[in-house]
Amino acid sequence: MASTSGKSSVNNSSRVDGSSVCQFEINGDFSGDRVKKIEDEFLEVLSAIAYKKVVLDISAVNNFDSPGLALCIGLYKECQNKKMDFEIIANQDSCNLFKLVNLDQVFPIKEIK
């Protein structure tokens, strides 16, 4: 799935135990108006198929602000409501932002170096 500034994509894969994992990758900008487009894409995918786990990969994000943080929290809550596991994969800068606002205490964040 593409958006006007940067790229986002959804990759579905199955694990060995048969449970499905949805990996949503965000590249470039994760701020401002783009966040609403990403949220719409994400919610559309989640409504179509039941997943065991959702992974939000923001390791290639280079611009991240408060709407991006709010989206992460909203997606986490959506996954909780649907009984899905949720994990974020992030670069060091994004991890530092999550730590600054103590979100690393709320949901799992895997740092990519």
**Model's pTM, two decimal places?**
0.82
Question: What Cα–Cα distance (Å) separates residue 111 from each residue in 14, 32, 46, 56, 105?
Answer: 23, 23, 24, 12, 14
> Going from the N-terminus, what domains does the chain have, and what CATH number goes with each?
7-111 (3.30.750.24)
pLDDT tens for the 113 residues of the chain, in order: 333 345 565 555 444 345 689 898 999 888 888 898 888 888 888 887 788 999 999 999 998 889 999 999 999 999 999 999 999 999 999 999 999 999 999 999 999 97
| pLDDT tens-digit series, residues 52-61 | 999 999 999 9
**CB-CB neighbours of 31 under 10 Å:** 18
